[in-house]
Structure 1
Amino acid sequence: MYGGGVNDRRTHPPVSADTGDVQPLDPGQLEAYFVLLEAVSLLQHQVEQQLRAEGDITYVQFQLLARLVHAPGPLTMTQLADGVVYSRSGLTYQAGLLEKNGLIARGPCPDDDRATLVTLTQAGSDLFRRVLPGHVEVSRALLFDPLTDRDVHHLGDIMTRVRDHMRTLPPRSAAPRKRRTTPS
Structure 2
Amino acid sequence: MADSPPSLDPVQLGAYFALIEVASLLRHAVEQQLREAGDLSYVQFQLLARLGDAPSGSHRMTDLADGVVYSRSGLTYQAGLLEKAGLVVRGPSADDERSVTVTITDAGRALLGRVLPGHVEVVSSLLLDPLSRDQVEALAGLLTPVRDHMRATPPRSAAPRRRKDGA
* TM-score (normalizing by structure 2): 0.94
Give the counterpart letter for 2:14 in structure 1.
Answer: E
Q: Aligned in 2, Cα 1:104/1:149: closer, same or farther, shift over 3 Å?
A: same
For 1:48 and 1:120, the matched residues in 2 are separated by 21
Larger helix share, 1 or 2: 2
Higher RCO (CA < 8 A, seq sep 6+): 2
1:48 paired with 2:31, answer yes
Deviates more, 1:135-144 or 1:20-29: 20-29
| Regions of 4+ moved over 4 Å | 19-22
Give the counterpart letter for 1:143 in structure 2.
Answer: L
* TM-score (normalizing by structure 1): 0.86
Say which of 102, 114, 138 aligns to 1:118.
102
Give the counterpart letter for 1:56 in structure 2.
Answer: D
Say which of 68, 89, 97 aligns to 2:51.
68
1:87 paired with 2:87, answer no
1:36 paired with 2:13, answer no
Question: What value does the CA root-mean-square deviation take over the aligned residues?
Answer: 1.6
Residue segments in structure 1 that go unaligned for 5+ positions in a row: 1-18
Larger Rg: 1
Identity of aligned residues (%): 63
Please report how far the alpha carbon of residue 130 of structure 1 lies from its aligned counterpart in structure 2 after TM superposition: 0.4
Q: Secondary structure at the match of 1:35?
A: helix
Residue segments in structure 2 that go unaligned for 5+ positions in a row: none
Q: Secondary structure at the match of 1:176?
A: coil
Q: Aligned in 2, Cα 1:55/1:20: closer, same or farther, shift over 3 Å?
A: farther
Please report how far the alpha carbon of residue 21 of structure 1 lies from its aligned counterpart in structure 2 after TM superposition: 6.3
Please report how far the alpha carbon of residue 50 of structure 1 lies from its aligned counterpart in structure 2 after TM superposition: 0.4
1:98 paired with 2:82, answer yes
